[in-house]
A and B are shown apart, each in its own frame.
Chain A
Amino acid sequence: MDFFLSRYRNLTVLLIVIVAQLLLIAYQVKTSNNVPLMRVWAVTAVTPVETALELVRRYTWGFVVDYFVLLNVRGENEKLKSENGQIKMENHYLKAELGTADRARALSVFQAQSPSKSVAARVIGNGTGANSKVVFIDRGSTTGVESGMAVVTPDGIVGKVVDAYPTASLVMLITDPTFAAGVISQKNHVRGTLKGQGHSDTLVDYVQNEETVDGGEWFYTSGDDRIFPKGFPVGQVSAARNGKNFKEIYLNPSGLQSGSVEEVLVLLNGVHQQIPDGEIASPGYKILQPPSDSVPGAPQPTGQATALSTDADRLREQYKQVGTEQKHVFGEGIPGSKPPDFTKMQGIRGASPLPSLTPAAPPKANAPANGDAGATGKKAGSSEATAANSGSSGASADAAPPKPKPRPTAPILLTDPTDADPGSDVVPAPAPKTEKPAGSAKPATTPSTTAPSPAAPSPAAPKPPVARNQ
Chain B
Amino acid sequence: MTEYTEHLLSEPRKDTERFRIIWLVTVPLVAILFQVYVPRFVSFLSYLELPLLITVHFALSSRGPIASVFYGMSIGLVQDSLSHQPIGMFGIVKTLVGYFAASVSMRFDVANPFVTFILSFFFYFFHQFFYWVLDRALLGEALSFDVQQTLIFGLLNAAVALPLFRILDKLKVTG
Contacts of A162 on B, CB cut-off 8 Å? 84
> From residue A22, how far is it (CB to closest CB) to chain B in Å?
7
Give A28 to B84 CA distance when docked, in angstroms: 12
Q: How far is the CA of A54 from the CA of B38 in the complex (A)?
A: 10
**How many whole Å from B90's CB to the nearest CB in chain A?**
7
Chain B stretch 79-102: residues in CB contact (< 8 A) with chain A: 79-92, 95-96, 99
In the complex, what distance in Å separates the CA atom of A198 from the CA atom of B41? 18
- Asked whether any CB of chain B lies closer than 8 Å to the CB of A155, the reply is no
Q: How far is the CA of A53 from the CA of B70 in the complex (A)?
A: 29
Which residues from A are CB-within-8-Å of B78?
42
Chain A residues numbered 185-215 whose CB sits less than 8 Å from any CB in chain B: 198
In the assembled complex, which residues on chain A have CB atoms less than 8 Å from the CB atom of B85?
Answer: 129, 132
Please state if B87 and A46 are interface contacts (CB–CB under 8 Å).
no
Residue B147 CB within 8 A of the other chain: no
- Using A21-B92, A38-B77 as known contacts, say yes or no to A126 and B36 having CB atoms under 8 A apart: yes
- How many chain A residues touch B (CB < 8 A): the figure is 48
- Report whether A49 and B83 are in contact in the complex, using a CB–CB cutoff of 8 Å: no
Flag A161-173 by CB within 8 Å of B: 1 or 0 each: 0110000001010
Interface string of B31-60 (1 = CB under 8 A from A): 011011101110100100101000000000
Kindly state the separation between the CA atoms of A379 and B66 in the bound complex, as whole angstroms. Answer: 90
CA–CA, A17 and B143, complex, Å:
26
**Nearest A-chain residue to B131, judged by Cβ:** A130
Complex Cα spacing A46 to B49, Å: 17
- Contact indicator A10/B32 (Cβ below 8 Å): no
Asked, given contacts A13-B69, A17-B69, A136-B36, whether A170 binds B128 with beta carbons under 8 Å apart, the answer is no
A35 smallest CB distance to B (angstroms): 5
**Binary per-residue interface labels of chain B (141-175) against chain A in the complex, 1 for a CB within 8 Å, 0 otherwise:** 10110000000000000000000000000000000
Task: Report whether B66 and A9 are in contact in the complex, using a CB–CB cutoff of 8 Å.
Answer: yes
Set of chain A residues within 8 Å of B51, measured between Cβ atoms = 128
Give the residues in chain B near A128, CB-CB below 8 Å. Answer: 32, 35-36, 51, 79-80, 82-83, 90
Across-interface contacts of A163 in B (CB, < 8 A): 84
Residue on A nearest B37 in the bound complex, by CB: A125
Chain B hits for A170, CB < 8 A: 82, 84
Is residue A41 within 8 Å, beta carbon to beta carbon, of the partner chain?
yes
Interface residues as binary, A15-37 with B (CB distance below 8 Å gives 1, 0 otherwise) = 00110011011101100001100
In whole angstroms, what is the CA distance A50 to B29 when docked?
12
B84 touches A125 (CB 8 A): no
Inter-subunit contact A25/B88 (CB<8 Å): yes
* A58 CB, min distance to chain B CBs, angstroms: 12
CA of A342 to CA of B23, assembled, Å: 94
Complex contacts, A53 vs chain B, CB 8 Å? 33, 37
Residue B138 CB within 8 A of the other chain: yes
Decide if A134 touches B141 in the complex (CB within 8 Å): no
B92 touches A22 (CB 8 A): yes
A131 at the interface (CB under 8 A from B): yes
B87 nearest in chain A by CB position: A35
Is B139 an interface residue, CB under 8 A from the partner?
yes
| B36→A198 contact, CB < 8 A | no
Q: How far, in angstroms, from A36 to B43 measured CA to CA in the complex?
A: 29
A129 to B36, CA, bound (A): 10
Asked, given contacts A14-B69, A126-B40, A130-B131, whether A46 binds B33 with beta carbons under 8 Å apart, the answer is yes
Further pairs besides A14-B69, A49-B33: 7, Cβ < 8 Å: A14-B95, A17-B70, A24-B91, A42-B82, A43-B82, A46-B36, A127-B83
Can you list 20 contacts pairing A with B, beta carbon distance less than 8 Å?
A13-B69, A14-B95, A21-B88, A22-B138, A25-B89, A25-B92, A25-B138, A28-B87, A29-B139, A34-B87, A42-B81, A42-B82, A49-B33, A126-B35, A126-B39, A126-B46, A129-B83, A131-B143, A136-B82, A260-B43
